Structure 1
Amino acid sequence: MEERFDSTYSEAGYGSGSIGVGSKPALLIIDFQKAFTLPESPLGGSDLVTKAVNNTVPLLNKAREVNIPIFHTVVAYREDQQDMGLWPKKVNSLSLVQLDSKWAELDGQLRAEKHEIVLTKKMPSAFFNTDLLSLLVTKRIDTLFVCGCTTSGCVRASVIDSFSYGFRTIVVEDCVGDQAEGPHRANLFDINNRYADLLTSYTVMQKMEVLYDAK
């Protein structure tokens, strides 16, 4: 079954090319906040997310070292839920992630430094009703290295919008996580075949070094 699925994609031309890395990248870290990274949270406790956070730490440090722009996102909502749209009907546990609560804080290993931008979003994509697009255009960014959670949700939605807006999109495959292995792997497979390239954090850090040395 799996071989036939792969063959069908190949025959249709999916995954036949590579987007590559441009000359002006930024690092986008999606929703690595305590609501999703701490095991005591009703939304947290995923081993895949924990591994992704741990792998993102050295990548974030490298981005800081070579002065690549860094953007973080968190999701957070009003206590009265007026800004939640239809989330309460589908994922009511998100109502716990209130503005100014600890669940809206970035994971302790990935705290933003003063010059880094933290965007609060309400919906899956990091681009939807945030300043991300205008910030990237102003900084003349051409490539996004994407980390975060979850692979099948906010990461995928952000990757599709990044691709749609014309940014070279690179998903750092060991720096994204999901609630379960199945959706994680399936969405990485699909993202790689349609919208983005998959690279390991090691490879991305090497590319960051090359870009830094070229300046």
Structure 2
Amino acid sequence: MVNAAANKRELIEGRAALIVIDIQASTFRDFSEVRSIDNMPGYADRMLAARTAIDAARASDIPVIFIQEVHRPDLVDFGRELDGQEDVHCLEDNPNTALAVEQMGVLPTDYVVPKRRYSAFFGTDFEILLKGLKVDTLLLVGGLTDVCVHYTFVDGHQHDYFCRVIEDCVGGSSETAHEASLVAMEYLQTGARRGLDETVAAMKAVAKSV
């Protein structure tokens, strides 16, 4: 049975922040190369669509927070991350680890949170930043849907944030994994799955109400 109270929630509750997860230079490198992490078809286009959300957030005075996965070259901070399907990735000394500055329009005034694990909350100052910005709603874009987006969503949920994933602007390791994670996130918060157009409209509505 669907919780009736959850259905009454707005797309944006209180103050929002747009969380751009792991859209890094490697996202747009030559896709003929062997990749350390599998990406679903159309992945890069989904990441490019996130630029629309970024521009809309800026126009609506919604803070943009870029999350960047980065690891030390001696691999000391990978932990169990390489025990599964992933190969070594996002090393500090690799230029592909940098944020996709040009494609995402990253500004010097944007917030950047580096992380060593999948969740943006784990071992970072992300929540300190969210508290300082008085954020209530996390609008999530980026990748992977079934890994870093999903785990950040879950931790946000468990820290009592309203969490929304813009499904046009996230991509998974496969289409199956992508859809399964979206279903799992929707289970945690009814109305978590949102489209880009309706999210941009909600951003504009919030800006007009201020």
Matches within 5 A, 1:6-155: 13=1, 17-18=6-7, 19-20=9-10, 21-38=12-29, 39=31, 40=33, 42=35, 43=37, 46-91=40-85, 93=87, 95-107=88-100, 108-155=102-149
Asked whether the 8 Å contact 1:159–1:195 carries over to 2, the reply is no
In the alignment, the residues of structure 2 paired with residue 140 and residue 118 of structure 1 have an alpha-carbon distance, to the nearest angstrom, of 17
How far residue 64 of structure 1 moved from its aligned partner, in angstroms, is 1.2
Report whether the alignment pairs 1:206 with 2:206.
no
Which stretch shifts more, 140-149 or 43-52?
Answer: 43-52
Counterpart CA distance in 1 for 2:65 and 2:46 is 17
Question: Are the aligned partners of 1:15 and 1:193 in contact in 2 as well (CA < 8 Å)?
Answer: no
Q: Is the 8 A contact 2:157 2:188 kept in 1?
A: no
Q: Which amino acid aligns with 1:181?
A: E
Unmatched tracts of structure 1, length 5 or more: 1-12
Q: CA, structure 1 residues 113+44, in 2 after alignment: closer, same or farther (shift >3 Å)? A: farther
Q: Is the 8 A contact 1:36 1:45 kept in 2?
A: no
Output one character per residue of 1:46-102: Cα deviation in whole Å (capped at 9) or x when no partner: 434213212111111111112211111111111111111122333552x24211421
- Helix, strand or coil: the match of 2:19? strand
Q: 1:210 to 1:124 in 2, by over 3 A?
A: same
* Aligned counterparts of 1:92 and 1:167: Cα–Cα separation in 2: 29
Q: Which shows bigger deviation, 178-187 or 18-27?
A: 18-27
Count of aligned residue pairs for this structure pair: 202
| Contact 1:23–1:211 (Cα < 8 Å) also in 2 | no
Partner Cα separation in structure 2 for residue 136 and residue 167 of structure 1: 10
Q: CA deviation at 1:22?
A: 1.1
RMSD across aligned positions (CA): 1.9
Higher helix share: 1
Deviation at 1:179, TM superposition (A): 2.1
1:172 aligns with 2:163: no
Unaligned runs of 5+ in 2: none
Question: How many angstroms does 1:144 deviate by?
Answer: 0.7
Partner SS, residue 184 of structure 2: helix
CA separation of 1:111 and 1:85: change in aligned 2, threshold 3 A: farther
Cα deviation code 1:180-215 (max 9, x no counterpart): 111111111121122361111111110110111111
Change (3 A) 1:52 1:131: same
> Any conservation in 2 of the 1:48–1:178 contact (CA below 8 Å)?
no
Alignment CA distance shift 1:79-1:47 (3 Å): same
**Partner amino acid for 2:72?**
R
* Alpha-carbon shift at residue 111 of structure 1 (Å): 4.0
Q: Secondary structure at the match of 2:138?
A: strand
Letter aligned with residue 22 of structure 1: E
Aligned-partner residue type, residue 86 of structure 1:
R
Query: For structure 1, which segment, 28-37 or 138-147, has the greater mean C-alpha deviation from structure 2 after superposition?
Result: 28-37
